[in-house]
Each structure stands twice: as C-alpha cells, then as structure tokens.
Structure 1
Amino acid sequence: MSTIIMSQCWPLQGLSVTQKAVLISLADQANDDGVCWPAVGTIAARCCMSPRAVRTAMDHLEVVGLLTRDRRFNSSTVYNVTPAKFDKAAAPSKGTRKAGKSGTASGAGAAPRAGGAPDAGGDAPRAGGDAAGAGLEVRPVPPNHHITTNEPSEEPSSPAGLSAAPPVVDSETELQAACRATWAAYASAYRIRHGVAPVRNAKVNANVKQLVQRLGHAEAPAVAGWFLTVNERYVVQNMHDLGSLLAKCEAYRTQWVTGRQMTATSAQQQDQTQSNANAADEAKAKLRQLREATNAH
C-alpha cells in the first residue's frame, strides 16, 4: 500500500462510485510509483462488483488519465495509477452522452437556446457560444479494449523490475516433491536391477503422479524402490514397468509393509491350504452330525 498514491486519489472528484472504488482498490495495492498487478477477480471481490464492471471502470480511468495498463500475453496485466495526470474534462459528461444517443434529429424547428439563434442544422448554440455538438468528438478506445485477458486465479508473481509480492503458497509443491522422490527411488532401483536407466515420458510421469496420489507422499517412494525386488513372472516379463506397479499398487504396498511377497506359487500354496482347511471343517461338521444323530437314538 502506498500512502502517497492513496492521498492523491481520495480528493479526486467527477468519478462514479464504481470508478472511485476501483481506483482506490488499485491505489491500495500499488507501490509508491503507482505500480501494481492485481487480478481483476481480486479487485471485483474487494469492491463487491462483477469483473465486467471492474473492466468498464478501468476503461474510464484510462481515458481520463488516471490509469495505464500494460497487457502481457499469458501473464498478469501491470497497472500504473497516475492521479497527477487526471483530466476531468477528458471524459464526456452524462448530458453529452445522452445528446449523442438522441442525435440532432430535431431539425430546423428546434427551439433556440440562450445565447443565440438556431444554426442552419437546427441545433442551437449553447450559452457562451459553444455549438451543441461540442465535446462529442470521437475519442480513441484504449488498446485491446475488447480483448479478454486471462486473469490468474491467484495473485501473480511480480514482473521483472518490480518489488516482490508476498509469496503465494503453491498447493502442488508437496505433490511435485513427492513425485520427484518417487521417481528417484524407482530409477535408482531400476538401474541396479536391470543395468540401464528406465524410460521417462509423459505416460510415466502420469503413472508416478497417480502412484503418489494413491499411496501417499510418504510411502510412494519406498514402495516404488521396493517394487524392483518383486520376482512375479508377469512383473519380470514386463521389466518392472510402472504400469505393473500402478495396477496393483495397494497390494504391493501391503507386501512391502509385511515383508512377504505374494508369488503365483505362494498364492497357489495358500489356496491349497485353505482348501484343505475347508475340507477338514466339512468333515468335522459331518462327524458332529453323526454323533448327534447317534445320541438321539
């Protein structure tokens, strides 16, 4: 906030409530040189108005010399608040705009105004000798008036040469760090197991991100490195690609925690054990029924 710019903006007259609110909001965020770069959405939220109303107010502020805009492609717009350059006469008055809309269709029958008789076109000169059309000259529209700029959802970082704005906490930083750690663990174990570096492309990066999201930031790197010790036939045939890990990452995580790898052979053995146990339970149940029947007789 610059008290210098704010103190110069408060006394200014001839602005609407919307225009004054936008000007004060910009001044509140500007440095002592009047430079700031807030998002339009931020200004709209602070002033309790729509983004469209903010842009319309900015257009007027630019016409009267209170604001300049430096639009940058795919970046934030830099604003320069210049209260010293305010030209109140530069903006057409409400009466002028109304006259411009209605036109001069009254013709020769228009009533004369104070200060002179009607001219050949039927418009009466105003008091002081000014013609009725005075002040209706076409003013250039500010550059890129109809171009919608992409405003960032968060406050952008400061452009080069400007004072740095307070850092914005990036919610992706922790996820990105976990992805880097996961890939590093996987790539290191892969080189040890296969003697070459693994391929990394967009699909692999997507797999790493999904792995971190499913297993968590803390466990994903450890499971990714441990995965290279798995000797399942399918996994070995696929050279321990990340797609195989991602397909059953929760199951591999359990194996990593318990320290027991579940191969096809061990699964078959456990299945046979369970079958034997089921058969034994059935035999016990039948024997119990026979005993109960014998005791009943």
Structure 2
Amino acid sequence: MSTIIMAACWPLQGMSASQKAVLISLADQANDDGVCWPAVGTIAARTCLSERAVRDALAWLQAAGAVFREYRHNTSTYYTVCPKRFDPSKAPVESKRTTKRKTNVAANAAPPAAAAPGADAAPPANAAVPPANAAPPPANAAGLEGQMPPPNHQLNHHLTANEPSPPAAQSARGGGKQEKADEETALQAACKHTWAAYNQAFEQRYGVKPVRNQVVNANVKTLVKRLGYEEAPLVAAWYVLSVNESFVVKNSHGVGVLVNQAEGYRTQWARGQAVTATAAQAADKSSANFDAIEEAKRLSRQRKEGGNA
C-alpha cells in the first residue's frame, strides 16, 4: 500500500460511493508510483460491489482522469492511480449503460394504480407505443435481470451481448482457483518489474544488456519469492549499482550471486550501506580480538579461584 497515493485519494470529491470505493481499493494496492494490477473480481470482493458495478466505476474514473488502464493480452490489466489528474467535469454524469437500463424499465413499467381503466383512456405523451405488427414475446423470455446490456466498448470489449450475468456467489473451490490465478499473475508482474530494475541498473554499470535465459528467469522468480514483490526490484537494482565486492564484480553482478545471499544483501540495502571486503575483515578481526579478551578473563578467574582454594 502507498500512503502517498492513499492520502491524495481520500479528499477527492465529486464521485459516487461506489466510484470512491473502487478508487480507494486501487490506491490501497498501489505502489508509490500508483501502479497496481488487481483483477475485477478481487476489487468486487474488496468493495462488496458486483463486477458490473466495478467495471462501471472504473470506466467513470478513467474518464475523469483518476485512473489510467493499460490493457494487456492474456494477462492482468495495469492500473495507474492519478489523483492529481482527477477532473469530474470530464466524466459523463451518467453512463450509457445506466441510462439505457432506466429507459427500458420506464418503457416496460406498469401504468399507475390510480389511472382510470377504460378504452377511452389516453396514453401518456411519452409512453412507448409498440408497432401494430409487433409479435408478442415468447412465453419463456428472460426478464431484465437475466440479461446483460450491450458491452461498453471502452471497458467490456471482451464481453458479448448474450453473455449471462456472473453468479452472485462462487463456490469455495472456484474461489480458490481464482485466488491462485490472481497470485500467479501478481508473481509474474513482480518478476517482470524485478528484471526491469536489474536490467536497467546492469546497463547503467556495464553498458551492455545482461544475459537472460531459463536459469536467470528461475533465479529472478526465487528472488521475488524470498524478498517479496515490493522489495525485490529495489534490492536487485541496488545490488548492481552499490555492491563492489571483488567476487561479485568478478562475476559481473550475476543474479545467481544475488539469490545465494539475498537476505544479507537485503539487510545491507535496508541499512543503506554495502559491506565491503575490508569492512568484513575488520569486523572479523574485532570479533576475534573480543573472543581472545574474554578467554583471557576466563583463565584469569580460574587461576584466582584455584589460588584461593
């Protein structure tokens, strides 16, 4: 979670409760750059909204400039939260889907109870008049609740007009599969960010691109699992630019060396200080001197105790 993005989103006004809930959910999962990649189902579960409501809210937030979406084929969508660009005047007051739904409900609404029945009663001016040759609806026709409106081409480009509404609740087994899929997607994205940070730092130091193969990819994945999604990219870049141990430099800051001592380098990164070979030798020497002094004190105590006896 980025407290910077979250603090900038809370004061924003001019949106509905569902739109604000979706925006805060994205900010809660975003890094300091405002980037996150949750699935629509994850946002729906966190905000207690339907997936359709989440999609409508995302479309409105994008139109208002508060959220930028980057669609990617066969993987999760990237969201960038941009609270400074939020301008509710740029967003439509009401989405086309909501307007059409209300129009359909009004056209099919029953006449008011107080209306006087009779053949001479004139219909309202705005009443929907069916054509004379209109065929009656089939007996098994589905109601409004069982149909999905036409897809929003800016958002639901992957849906079809005949696609049924998602179930209100998923089974525990299905939810587990979705959670595993979301976790795998997040892991892949973290590996991508980690490699990008390592690659940029490597080119900056050596002037060439690092070698990338299956072994390197496996090491990057291991590094992400050991250090976490957020810290792995930072430690990888710091490792290339700041660590100058002779063994590391000799191996051209290979990813395998970083993985072998991942926790140690992470501690050095967190402290903001790389441990050089000279510093390590000095620490070992100090430790050895301390142990020698303690041993001398122990022997001196034993001699005194023996003399007193």
TM-score range, shorter chain: 0.3 to 0.5
TM-score (norm 2): 0.41
- Larger of the two Rg values belongs to structure: 1
